[in-house]
Amino acid sequence: MLLIPCPYCGPRPELEFSYAGEANIARPADPASLTDEAWAAFLYQRTNPRGLHAERWRHTHGCGRFFNARRDTVSDLFQSSWKPGEPPP
Amino acid sequence: MQRFSAFALARNALSGHTAWQRQWRSPEPAKEYDAVIIGGGGHGLATAYHLAHDHGMRSIAVLEKSWIGGGNTGRNTTIIRSNYLFNASSSLYDHAVKLWEGLSQKLNYNVMFSQRGVMMLAHNVHDEQVFKRHVHANRLNGVDNEWLTAAQAKEFCPPLRIDSGMRYPVIGAALQRRAGTARHDAVAWGYARAADSLGVHIVENCAVTGIVRDTTGAVEAVETTRGRIATRKLGVVAAGNTSVLMAMAGVRMPLESFPLQALVSEPVKPVFPCVVMSNTIHAYISQSDKGELVIGAGTDAYISYSQRGALHVSTHTLEAICELFPQFRRMRMLRNWGGIVDVTPDRSPIIAKTPVPGLYVNCGWGTGGFKATPGSGHLFAWTIAKDEPHRINAPFTLERFRDGFLIDEAAAAAVSH
């Protein structure tokens, strides 16, 4: 089980959290103007890296808030976490 | 190739079993091949075998970064079934089951395919409706599947608990009798041996580090830890590592890689006659011919390449197993491990050409690729050799995500991952 650093509450066990996928995928402002390729890329294509991954988590059974984190997908160790809207450390 | 038979066994017994040949060679990679397959798992080896056997290609290499069958082929729960809902899926998976049925003879290698039946338990009205819909859809597609009452389910699998005191009582089950299990290692070894005898080079300990494209954008070569290898046809069959390899060719994939766990108990005498799966309480279990109970747990919530899963995920499954089969409560678990599965948004695989000429991809099998091994190899070899998909894998393109023709197969994971 992972120990996840919530930027609001500190390190807590994984069971308190929900994973919310890759970070920094902004919903297009005007979906109707997109090509099918661009819309499919927004919906479905993911970086899925072997190494550092910027991702979102939600502290569902804690403060309830979303935040961003960077984790190594090979070792599963968290490198950092930060609040939404803040620049990554 | 030295053929296996009762006679060969007796003859080799006379020399103390010291005269058996190696089952496949270990060649140095050549400078160039007509086709290169990245990934020496069951699917990749089957692809190479079919390229050589069906399409007459001889200059083929399979590149494997560690040892063959050491990834998901050696890490799955060996369940084979084809009771999928949609026409495209049931046609794909039943194609594989039909090939499984003659595979040991075809490869001259005992893959221990055992059609012991796969039973999926229903615990509530929703399950019952969904499974009956599957039963009817399957039968319209010529795929066997039948509905059992709880008592009939218990008769088919005596260890099953069906009393009403359970938190999630069993109210019935869907049974596919042609489904079953096979020996996963034997599948990799059998395909490797058969492909090798047709001239395929199986190159282990050879990781691909780059994909080289020419000025038109077509595939020209691969860079590997054992040197550059030129080829005009490159097939990527790398399961969880597909996104990483495709990125080397500049292709972004609709895939995410998750660790999926399995575990085995200490070996015991035959106690469990079939495969039982429960979607609702998340458990699946069978007994291997060695006697171990083989249990599949869920995926972790987050993407990872770590090849291990969290303990709370396997604990959750073991609680469900103990509820369904109280006699196993005192069994000890021997080993658990994880494999990295590549999951598509619609839970259906991709066996297709890519936007890059000469680059083909076979991926997205998610949590259930082992069952498709022979069919996947056959269809992918067809796609590579003819540069167009076979009728059966034609719907399983990359473009379906752009065009909205998803094959939204909730049954792909018989348990909800």
Provide the ipTM: 0.96
* pLDDT value for A87: 85
* pLDDT value for A1: 86
State which residue of chain B sits closest to A1, comparing Cα positions.
Answer: B310
Amino acid at A69: A
A38 touches B: beta carbon within 8 Å: no
Q: Which residues contact B358 (CB under 8 A, 6 or more apart)?
A: B218, B219, B231, B232, B233, B234
Q: Which residues contact A44 (CB under 8 A, 6 or more apart)?
A: B254, B345, B401
Residues of chain B with pLDDT under 50: none
What are the residue ranges of helices labelled H in B114-261? 125-140, 150-156, 184-197, 242-248
State which residue of chain A sits closest to B315, comparing Cα positions.
Answer: A1
Q: Which residues contact B348 (CB under 8 A, 6 or more apart)?
A: B88, B89, B364, B396, B406, B407, B408, B409, B412
For residue B253, list chain A residues with Cβ-Cβ distance below 8 A: 45-46, 48
* pLDDT value for B89: 95
Asked if A41 and B252 come within 8 Å (Cβ–Cβ), the reply is yes
* pLDDT value for B130: 92
Distance CA B4, CA B114 (A): 20
Interface test with B, best of A17, A44, A47 (most B CBs within 10 A): A44
**Across the interface, which of A1, A48, A50 has its CB nearest the CB of B311?**
A1
Distance CA B206, CA B415 (A): 35
A31 touches B: beta carbon within 8 Å: no
Q: How far is A15 from chain B (nearest CA, A)?
A: 9
* pLDDT value for B186: 97
Q: How far is A34 from chain B (nearest CA, A)?
A: 12
Q: Which of B281, B339, B271 is nearest to B305 (CA)?
A: B339
A8 touches B: beta carbon within 8 Å: no
B243 touches A: beta carbon within 8 Å: yes
Distance CA B137, CA B59 (A): 42
Instruction: State how beta strands B234-236 and B359-363 pair.
Output: parallel
Q: Residues 223-242, chain B: which have Cβ within 8 Å of A? A: 241
State which residue of chain B sits closest to A13, comparing Cα positions.
Answer: B312
* pLDDT value for B1: 79
Asked if A46 and B244 come within 8 Å (Cβ–Cβ), the reply is no
B405 touches A: beta carbon within 8 Å: no
Instruction: State how beta strands B201-203 and B60-63 pair.
Output: parallel
Could you count the other beta carbons within 10 Å of the beta carbon of residue B402? Answer: 18
Structure tokens at B222: 């691969």
* pLDDT value for A89: 81
Structure tokens at B358: 């000469």
What are the residue ranges of helices labelled H in B56-160? 87-101, 103-107, 125-140, 150-156
Asked if B401 and A15 come within 8 Å (Cβ–Cβ), the reply is no
Q: Which of A69, A44, A45 is nearest to A56 (CA)?
A: A69
* pLDDT value for B414: 52
**Across the interface, which of B255, B305, B403 has its CB nearest the CB of A46?**
B255
Q: Which of B113, B194, B147, B134 is nearest to B371 (CA)?
A: B113
pTM to 2 decimal places: 0.96
Residues of chain A with pLDDT under 70: none
Structure tokens at B310: 């969290």
